[in-house]
Structure 1
């Protein structure tokens, strides 16, 4: 996936959420604790029915009580996915024991190639708090639409390989499954650590 093509898909995703984020910014309280983009009330609660990297059918309720970071990607991604997972791994390390209350949900936008076994090998190579999720093409499309993410398969290369362009938002949900924050791979680790610390601390942030 070339950087220019990735930039286009990111811009497309930003355009889809522009109205929602503008409303959030207009209601921004300077005293608010968040350093990331606050999307409380502007995105739906976490909801899905997919297959995890152990081959088990799971829903959002299986992660109730955990702070979840939802990210759409794929295991053959040449750049942004491994960089993002490495970025989140450092964040989890910096959170220490608090990270046990968080889960990184890596949802494949390439279910044709990303089997549960492939996802398990991929995500666990980055962080033990990461879980790979896959499903039917219809399942994945419905979930990306729910969170206004975007992805598209690029034309096949020689040998039959292909890339998938995709947006790179990291959607953060609280322990009750409510959408709270939106991050990007470009956000500083300090911001993620700060806001996740608030959500993961006893009582969390309201």
Structure 2
């Protein structure tokens, strides 16, 4: 039986199909996240702020870590401490893997939250939490970058006030790509599951 000779156009199409199949096998299937998958729908982690040790930092300083970004403030009466407490539980459940993650708590109250105040606040919840502060313009720009929002409410006679803010938790992989969106009501199981995927070198999928 004579070998079959493919017409040149058909041969090229066949080779292209094979290369695509091989490429798909090498890249693997998309990670099976349980929470809202925002891969490709949010910008990479990028900012210029000051950490709770008074050091100027950027998003690039956290490359190599899985980052959980959250906007809040230290005078927050409920959702912020509750969220940080829940994230601490998640970090505990991750065990040694948690060393590859960082919680970045960005203050939406720059008038009251200084680096030292932020340092004491976030470390009361978890040693892998970092407080970030910046001027009002920088914080507002970062908030808009991730479609978050915050508003300072009118103060009382003593000058006390609250800040209404979004409560989403943005999770970025080791390369700084936005991957998952969570809420404070997300189950610990789901967040631990998705963080495991990213911490187990799944960031390139």
Give the TM-score normalised by structure 2: 0.84
Residue 204 of structure 1: how far off its partner (Å): 4.2
Q: Distance in 1 between matches of 2:100 and 2:72?
A: 22
Q: Which runs of 4+ in 1 moved over 3 A?
A: 202-205
Which of these two proteins has the greater Rg computed from alpha carbons? 2
Residue 56 of structure 1: aligned partner: 55
Residue 5 of structure 1: aligned partner: none
Give the TM-score normalised by structure 1: 0.84
- How do 1:35-184 residues align onto structure 2 when only pairs under 5 Å count? 35-184=34-183
Task: Check whether the contact 1:198–1:205 (CA below 8 A) recurs between aligned residues.
Answer: no
Q: Distance in 1 between matches of 2:46 and 2:186?
A: 25
Unaligned runs of 5+ in 2: 1-29
1:193 paired with 2:189, answer: no
Go from structure 1 to structure 2 and tell me whether the alpha carbon gap of 1:136 and 1:41 turns closer, same or farther (over 3 Å shift).
same
Supply the RMSD in Å over aligned alpha carbons. 1.3
User: For each residue in 1:151-200, what CA deviation from the matched residue of structure 2 results, as whole angstroms up to 9, or x when unmatched?
Assistant: 00000012111000000000000000000000000000000000001100
Corresponding pairs, count = 177
Unaligned runs of 5+ in 1: 1-30
Task: Check whether the contact 2:168–2:183 (CA below 8 A) recurs between aligned residues.
Answer: yes
